[in-house]
A and B are shown apart, each in its own frame.
Chain A
């Protein structure tokens, strides 16, 4: 009886210890991008990329096409008009809190805007820039 209790306690032990990545999902991703060869990240470079135009199917696309020039404001989907909640974590604390979401949208929206996936360096720069807002 005692033995099984001890065993159960041991089995449950890993659940009580914090995971190795206790940091927030942005830090986790930045660490990963560094492993993939990215240099020091720059919010300034992220900002430039955020406002840069890319020509796709004859039209200029930018991050701001949907998210507007003000990250603190509600954006609008270019095609459907659906409201997009503000990107700045200072006004929308939900932003940059879910790793899966960050990865999904960085991938999808880089493809739509730039016509290709972003490099680890670009992704890191964007994340740092958004985080600072």
Chain B
């Protein structure tokens, strides 16, 4: 660990130009920045869940790379190189405002702690994200292994840790700016070029690392291959139970609303009132009625086959028996921000025309990412 820490002394004009950050580390850093920004921008809106999840996978994959590179990577990026104890951090911070401040080629003690916490928090954010995805959306490696309720509470942890991570990143940025200013060196530029120009007076024989272009190429290729694979598997929901009689009888005048979209008591009431079905007399014969009823009862919202099923069932008080899906609390909450122009769009016609925006309305899965503005291919 020669030259790890040297006290700045008199100014000297002669400088070494050395490489501190190898190419894979720089790619990791900036791709992680992009992945985090995209994930933050796409969060909180179900319509961009696909973008959010893809950026999350990228984030997680990059962390995985960094943990390996922290063991086998180049000099300055190895964990062992910047594993400072708290005393070193304290000493560093204490000396910072003074002329005797320490100058490090790689991470300084305070910065290294921020980095370890960012990596650890990032890992927690990634894992809670995957668990949320498996529990709430029935997607990803944990699909169906976690209940909706557990997925929902893990979701809260995912959010809390992500905001904490944002806080840590802010501290990291402030630290970078402060150090850049105090040492008169552009640390942001160093993370782009990998190079630092250091005074000979301070660092007599600083170590310059290899560029590692080959590893960087491998990293990019792995991201492209895995990214393409993730992207080629879009958000297709599970195959839900179907029934020919139901689909024909209920699907002739309107979308055959999947049983998962209303509680069993609602379907029961709807069939009991079949002679006054929204101003129409369904007049279903007993045989058809029984078949439809059996299918509806077996797959009603209580079955929790999908996220909407679970949420509709949970948000409908037991004393309520809604006949319209659009009257359920969950539906109202999910659609409250939709502009009037969209409801008045000629392709929409009425609120029960789910298929105008939900690409998988026929299948009944109502995946978050399967939504598009009518007569347009762009997500709204």
- Interface positions of A (Cβ within 8 A of B): 57, 77, 79-82, 104, 107-108, 111-112
Contact = CB atoms under 8 A, between A and B. Distances in A.
Nearest to B254: A80
Nearest to B248: A101
B156 interface: no
B281 interface: yes
Given A81-B353, A82-B255, A108 B279 contact: no
A104 B252 CA distance: 12
Interface bracket on B: 10 to 19
A82 B280 contact: no
B253 interface: yes
B350 interface: yes
A80 B353 contact: yes
A108 B280 contact: yes
B253 A80 contact: yes
B254 A77 contact: yes
Nearest to A76: B349
28 contacts: A57-B279, A77-B254, A79-B253, A79-B254, A79-B278, A79-B279, A79-B350, A80-B254, A80-B255, A80-B349, A80-B350, A80-B353, A81-B349, A81-B350, A81-B353, A82-B252, A82-B253, A82-B255, A104-B283, A107-B283, A108-B280, A108-B281, A108-B282, A108-B283, A111-B280, A111-B281, A112-B279, A112-B280
Nearest to A80: B254
For the complex of A and B, list the 3 residue pairs with the smallest distance between their C-beta atoms, beginning with the closest.
Answer: A81-B349, A80-B254, A111-B281
A112 B281 CA distance: 8
The prevalent SS among residues of B at the interface is loop
A55 to B, nearest CB: 14
A65 B278 CA distance: 17
Contacts of B255: 80, 82
A3 to B, nearest CB: 39
B352 interface: yes
A80 B326 CA distance: 14
Contacts of B280: 108, 111-112
Interface in B173-228: none
A77 B253 contact: yes
Contacts of A111: 280-281
Nearest to A112: B280
Contact of B352 (A57, A80, A108, A112): A80
Contacts of B352: 80
A79 B281 CA distance: 14
Q: Among A57, A79, A111, A112, which residue has the most Cβ atoms of chain B within 10 A? A: A79
Contacts of B253: 77, 79-80, 82
Contacts of B349: 80-81
A133 to B, nearest CB: 21
A108 to B, nearest CB: 6
B279 A82 contact: no
Contacts of A112: 279-281
Contacts of B282: 108
A82 B254 contact: yes
A105 B252 CA distance: 11
A82 to B, nearest CB: 6
A111 B275 CA distance: 11
A82 B353 CA distance: 8
Nearest to A81: B349
A95 to B, nearest CB: 14
Q: Among A57, A77, A82, which residue has the most Cβ atoms of chain B within 10 A? A: A82
Contacts of B281: 108, 111-112
Contacts of B350: 79-81
Given A57-B279, A79-B253, A79-B350, 11 more contacts: A77-B253, A79-B254, A79-B279, A80-B254, A80-B349, A80-B353, A82-B252, A82-B254, A104-B283, A108-B280, A111-B281
A108 B282 CA distance: 7
